[in-house]
Amino acid sequence: MSVLTLVEAQETVFREARLLDEQRFEDWLDLFVEDVLFWMPAWKDDTTLSGDPDRELSLIYYRGKENLRDRVDRLRSGLSPVSRILPRVTHSVTNVMLDAAEGDEGTVYSSFVTHSYQPRTDQLSFHFGRYEHGLVREEGQWKIARKIIYLANDLVPTVLDVNAI
């Protein structure tokens, strides 16, 4: 089989964004491999992101898809005051570049901005930064084995959940 192409890479990260925006969370979860790394480092100071997630704090750090399932279940439970009315979110993903495509693996770098509108409070918020997606081919499909979110604006207004990053 051929290595990961830029078109396939784009297709995968764009699909992920679209599924989140359409709140198709089951389909979103299907994009990830079982032992996915889902990681959003914190900032240690004005200029440095946290590194080793076992020694330094992250905003989100999960190894394993069941953690993402927990997050999705909570978002849709109707029992979370901040999520009872889910924000309307649009992801814009640009500057997609393919790196290190070899065999059944490839790394994809991109930039993102999410705009969120909270019907609960009429608040608008936006978050932006860079993504690093590690893709692997499983049964002919490209799946996400690694999603790292380097969040630029880390002063979080009220909430920032997995649906808006």
Partner 1 sequence: MKHYRLKDLVDDRPEDGVFRVSRAMFSDPALFDLEMKHIFESGWVFLGMASQVENPHDFLTTRIGRVPVILMRDKQGVLRCFLNACPHKGARIASQHSGNAKLFVCPYHSWTFASSGENRAVKWEKAGCYGEGFHKEDHNLHPIAKFGEYRGFLFGSLNPDVSELEEHLGEARHIIDLAADQSEEGLEVVPGRVRFTFAANWKMQVENCSDQYHFTSTHPSLIKVLERRAREASKGVVESSLSGADFWKGGNDGIVGGSYSFENGHALAWGIMPPNPSLALFENYPQLVQKFGKERAAWMFNMRNLTLFPNMQLAVNASTQLRIIRPVRHDLTEMETWCLVPKGESAEARRLRIRQYEDFFNPTGMAIADDNAVYEECQHGLTAQARPWLQGHARGMTATHEGGNDFAEMIDLKPQRSVTGTSQLADETLFQSYYRGWAQRMAEVLA
Nearest CA-CA partner of 131 in 91, 102, 101, 71: 91
50 binds partner 1 (CB under 8 A): yes
| CB closer to partner 1 out of 10 and 67 | 67
Q: Which of 3, 59, 113, 136 binds partner 1 (CB under 8 A)?
A: 59
Q: Which residues, 6+ apart, have CB-to-CB distance to 72 below 8 Å?
A: 25, 26, 28, 29, 162
Q: What whole-number distance in Å separates Cα of residue 136 and Cα of residue 16?
A: 15
Q: What is the DSSP letter of 94?
A: E
| Tokens representing residue 91 in the block | 């992801």
Q: Which of 33, 64, 111, 115 binds partner 1 (CB under 8 A)?
A: 64
- Binding to partner 1 (CB under 8 A) within 117-146 occurs at 120-121, 123
- The sign of the CA dihedral 92, 163, 158, 78 is positive
Contact yes or no for 89/115 (Cβ under 8 A): yes
82 binds partner 1 (CB under 8 A): yes
113 binds partner 1 (CB under 8 A): no
Site stretch for partner 1 (CB under 8 A), options 8-16, 24-32, 135-143, 149-157:
149-157
Q: Which residues bind partner 1 (CB under 8 A)?
A: 35, 40-46, 50, 53-67, 70-71, 73-74, 77, 79-83, 120-121, 123, 154-161, 165
